[in-house]
Amino acid sequence: MKLDHPKWSIRAGLTLGFTIVLALMVTLMAIAVVWMTRIDRELDVIVNSNLAKTELAHTMETALRERAIAMHTIAVMQDPFEKDAYAQRFDTLGSLFTTARAQLEALPLSDAELNLLKKIKTLTSTTMPYARAAVETAMTARSREDTLAALDEIRINAVPRQSLIAEELTALITLQKDATERTAHDAKTDYHNAIVLMITIGTLAIGLGLLVAIFVIRNATRQATKLQHQAMFDGLTNLPNRVLFHDRLQQAVLSSRRDKRMFALLSLDLNRFKEVNDTLGHHQGDKLLNKVAQRLLSHARESDTIARLGGDEFSLLLPSTDISGGAVFAQKLLKLMTEEFNLDGKQVSVGASIGIAIFPEHGQDPEVLMQHADAAMYIAKRANTGFEFYDEAIGNNTLSNIALKNDLRHAIERNQLRLYYQPKIGHDLGKVTGLEALVRWQHPEHGLVPPDRFIALAESTGFIQPLTAWVVEEAVRQCALLHRSGMYLSMAVNISAINLKDAELPKKISAVLSTHQLHPKWLEIEVTESAVMDDTLCTLRVLEELDVLGTRLSIDDYGTGYSSLANIKKLPLNDIKIDKSFVMGMSDNHADETIVRSTIEMGHGLGLRVVAEGVEDQATGNRLTELGCDSAQGYFMSRPLPPEHLLKWLHESPWGLAADAATLAEPSTPPTAE
Ligand code: C2E
Ligand code: MG
Ligand code: MG
């Protein structure tokens, strides 16, 4: 699995930050516990040990001093009872001294203290006999001389020895005082250190915690802004997306309604985007979309909104723009989109189709305006006119295009496609020579949908490939069945410009022909004039391969696509089909008749057969025969028919071929009348 790097590093940073803060807090607690225990122990030493030792040393010192006083008192006392009492006090003080020393010895002592105590003990044992002897002498002293002698003994023998002990005791007390001071100092230092360390670590933890918090808040805010941006803008081009565009459109409707102003909504779809994607790859397709977005942006006003709604669909909102402003802008955009794009050194021309809806004329709420701009765009695409305004008449036919788009994908698997056949009559023989297969969509809700309503949709969604494959297969199958019944008619199928970009098309058609054992010469490929004029290498190669295969090639709707003779000459053509708009009008319109006549002459001059479509009356038929038109097709002879009606027509009409109906195969799809 690939790591999402920024998210991963944020997570790692946060984990590290929190871990450090946690570690600092734990250290803070540990330091608090360790140092406080230490200070507590130090205070304990001061209170329980040092103070006790000092007190015991003081007791010994006092006892010693008072023993000296007792000795002197005994010596100067006359009353034997009082002497006795002081002698007892002398002894008691002696025991007090020894008990205090023993207690001192029982306490934990340093080496220096032990040494001092040892000295005191030794001094005590050497002093004891002298003191005792001095006390004995003092006890027995009765006269002034005795007393003086006893006092001398005390002064000379006992007191100096006792003074030695007192000196050692003073040293002991000083030692303990020092030790107490030292421990108190240590405790104070420890306390100070602990406070400093705790404040430092606490500050660090708070600082780091704050940093982590700032980091989290900043990242969360950034993430929220990013998500908000993603929800409103297209990730590829950075243009507003459908959500934001819809919002702006809603605002535009409200403010334009309030200020009684117009605005234009343009729906723009690239014409050959799919081709770029298929031939150069999605990467280049994405690049192209970006360049388109940049080009659109560079030519828009600041107040305009340009959005990418998905795929190669863009929408533009032009405030304060009326019909003429919309038309001028659309023309400008079309020009921009026909200029070549450079994709890593490859020059690509895409072109676009634009549908325009003007507020309030073509709709008063966002949904309707969007639908109407889309509907107009489909018409522009289908008719190859560049741009179209919404028109209620076309709207009725195309309103449900968006819904149809979804259903169309399932039309084949749900067996909803039908082929109708329109006979072509050869003028020389007056008999049917071929059929044109025209597709229809038997929609469960909308009934029989004519091709004009869904071919452009199929082209824009890529569904045209399976649709054409189905049409070719079905038409060839039907033609082969007719042949087996002895009716040798040609079969024409309409192939979209997009199919001609499929290098495999000749191979696929050849496979279908061999499956149904139909000679290629019976299959006629009808391609619109605009489709062959887009003479990319691939289109030319496909047409040449089809020619080699042996199928016939016919230019459909001739006269609508401004093709030059030079271009036509390059193509492996067999037939030219004059567009019905000229044929239908030729009886009353001299210009139309001139176009028809000159097309027939030009076609013949190039060695081509000329077919007229849209023959609606006898007069037109007759005139076409006079002009030397090779073949004709139109409502006058027959409308496009479902297979079973076709059989009837072939049997009964004046142009039909005589055939044995019993040998005709059953139609492949259920009959429906057009
Ligand atoms: P087209 O190939 O030019 O077909 C002729 C159209 O003119 C047919 O319309 C036909 O019904 C109509 N038509 C024929 N005679 C007359 C007439 O006397 N008067 C009038 N007013 N109309 C007449 P349809 O069947 O609606 O097809 C429209 C277009 O749809 C076709 O024009 C063709 O370009 C396209 N189309 C039909 N089937 C297919 C298909 O299988 N694949 C592709 N790619 N396009 C198809
Ligand atoms: Mg046709
Ligand atoms: Mg036509």
- Strand 417-426 and strand 631-633: the pairing is antiparallel
Confidence of residue 249 (pLDDT cuts 50, 70, 90): very high
What would the mean pLDDT of 260-278 be, rounded to a whole number?
91
Residue 648 has pLDDT above 60, yes or no: yes
What's residue 394's pLDDT? 55
What distances in angstroms separate CA 495 from CA 28, 234, 451, one per listed residue? Answer: 82, 35, 12
More confident residue, 674 or 492: 492
Find the range with the poorest average confidence among 225-229, 420-424, 505-509, 536-540: 536-540
Task: Using the mean position of ligand 2's atoms as its centre, give its distance from the Cα of residue 446 in Å.
Answer: 24
Residue 558 has pLDDT above 60, yes or no: yes
| Ligand 1 atom nearest to CA at 579 | 3
DSSP string over 415-475: T-EEEEEEEEEETTTTEEEEEEEEEEEEETTTEEE-GGGTHHHHHHHTTHHHHHHHHHHHH
Residue 261 has pLDDT above 50, yes or no: yes
What's residue 9's pLDDT? 67
DSSP H helices in 573-612: 580-585, 590-605
| Ligand 1 atom nearest to CA at 419 | 41
**Ligand 1 pocket, residues with Cβ under 6 angstroms:** 422, 438-439, 450-452, 455, 471, 494, 496, 526, 556-557, 580, 613-616, 633-635, 640
Average pLDDT of the chain, as a whole number: 87
Residue 662 has pLDDT above 50, yes or no: no
**Residue of the CA atom closest to atom 17 of ligand 1:** 614
Phi, psi of 436 (to 5 degrees): -115, 125
More confident residue, 91 or 31: 91
Task: Using the mean position of ligand 1's atoms as its centre, give its distance from the Cα of residue 580 in Å.
Answer: 10
- Global pTM exceeds 0.95: no
**Residue of the CA atom closest to atom 35 of ligand 1:** 451
Task: Using the mean position of ligand 2's atoms as its centre, give its distance from the Cα of residue 537 in Å.
Answer: 23
| Ligand 1 atom nearest to CA at 451 | 30
- Best of 416, 578, 613 to mutate for ligand 1, by most ligand atoms within 8 A of CB? 613
Task: Using the mean position of ligand 3's atoms as its centre, give its distance from the Cα of residue 660 in Å.
Answer: 31
Task: Using the mean position of ligand 2's atoms as its centre, give its distance from the Cα of residue 439 in Å.
Answer: 10
Task: Using the mean position of ligand 1's atoms as its centre, give its distance from the Cα of residue 438 in Å.
Answer: 6
CB-based contact 433:489 (threshold 8 Å):
yes
**Residue of the CA atom closest to atom 2 of ligand 1:** 494
| CA pair distance 659, 674, nearest whole angstrom | 24
What's residue 1's pLDDT? 36
Residue 162 has pLDDT above 70, yes or no: yes
| CA pair distance 547, 551, nearest whole angstrom | 6
| CA pair distance 129, 137, nearest whole angstrom | 12
What would the mean pLDDT of 638-658 be, rounded to a whole number?
89
DSSP at 236:
T
Confidence of residue 663 (pLDDT cuts 50, 70, 90): very low
- For the chain, give the longest Cα–Cα distance: 189
Asked whether the bond before 444 is cis by omega within 30 degrees of 0, the reply is no
| Separation of CA 523 from chain center | 50
Task: Using the mean position of ligand 1's atoms as its centre, give its distance from the Cα of residue 617 in Å.
Answer: 18
**Ligand with smallest separation from the Cα of 464:** 1
**Residue of the CA atom closest to atom 11 of ligand 1:** 640
Task: Using the mean position of ligand 3's atoms as its centre, give its distance from the Cα of residue 353 in Å.
Answer: 21
Q: Which of 295, 452, 313 shows the shortest CA–CA distance to 384?
A: 452
- 576 backbone φψ class: left, alpha, beta (φ>0; ψ -120 to 50): beta
Angle between helical axes of 323-338 and 282-298 (0-180°, round to 10): 140
What secondary structure, in 3-state letters, does 28-87 show? HHHHHHHHHHHHHHHHHHHHHHHHHHHHHHHHHHHHHHHHHHHHHHHHHCCCHHHHHHHH
Q: Which of 483, 493, 558 shows the shortest CA–CA distance to 523?
A: 493
| CA pair distance 7, 223, nearest whole angstrom | 10
Confidence of residue 148 (pLDDT cuts 50, 70, 90): confident
Residue 3 has pLDDT above 70, yes or no: no
| Separation of CA 89 from chain center | 101
CB-based contact 35:194 (threshold 8 Å):
yes
| CA pair distance 259, 97, nearest whole angstrom | 114
Residue 674 has pLDDT above 50, yes or no: no
CB-based contact 401:426 (threshold 8 Å):
no
Which residues, at least 6 apart from 265, have a Cβ–Cβ distance to it below 8 Å? Answer: 249, 315, 316, 317, 318, 356, 357, 358, 359, 369, 370, 373
- Best of 528, 580, 582, 583 to mutate for ligand 1, by most ligand atoms within 8 A of CB? 580
Residue 565 has pLDDT above 50, yes or no: yes
- Best of 438, 449, 524, 672 to mutate for ligand 1, by most ligand atoms within 8 A of CB? 438
Which residues, at least 6 apart from 404, have a Cβ–Cβ distance to it below 8 Å? Answer: 443, 446, 449, 453, 454, 457
Residue 385 has pLDDT above 50, yes or no: yes
Query: Locate tokens 């002034």: which residue?
Result: 144
Could you please state the CATH topology (level 3) that the domain comprising 242-392 is classified under.
Alpha-Beta Plaits (3.30.70)
**Cα angle at 83 between 78 and 84, to 5 degrees?**
145
Residue 397 has pLDDT above 80, yes or no: no
Confidence of residue 96 (pLDDT cuts 50, 70, 90): very high
Q: Which of 672, 625, 623, 620 shows the shortest CA–CA distance to 644?
A: 672
User: What is the number of other CB atoms lying within 10 angstroms of the CB of residue 184?
Assistant: 15
pLDDT tens-digit series, residues 122-135: 998 888 888 888 88
Yes or no: is domain 409-664 CATH 3.20.20.450? yes
| CA pair distance 92, 123, nearest whole angstrom | 19
Task: Using the mean position of ligand 2's atoms as its centre, give its distance from the Cα of residue 614 in Å.
Answer: 11
What's residue 535's pLDDT? 59
**Cα angle at 650 between 645 and 651, to 5 degrees?**
100
- Best of 384, 436, 449, 455 to mutate for ligand 1, by most ligand atoms within 8 A of CB? 455
**Residue of the CA atom closest to atom 25 of ligand 1:** 438
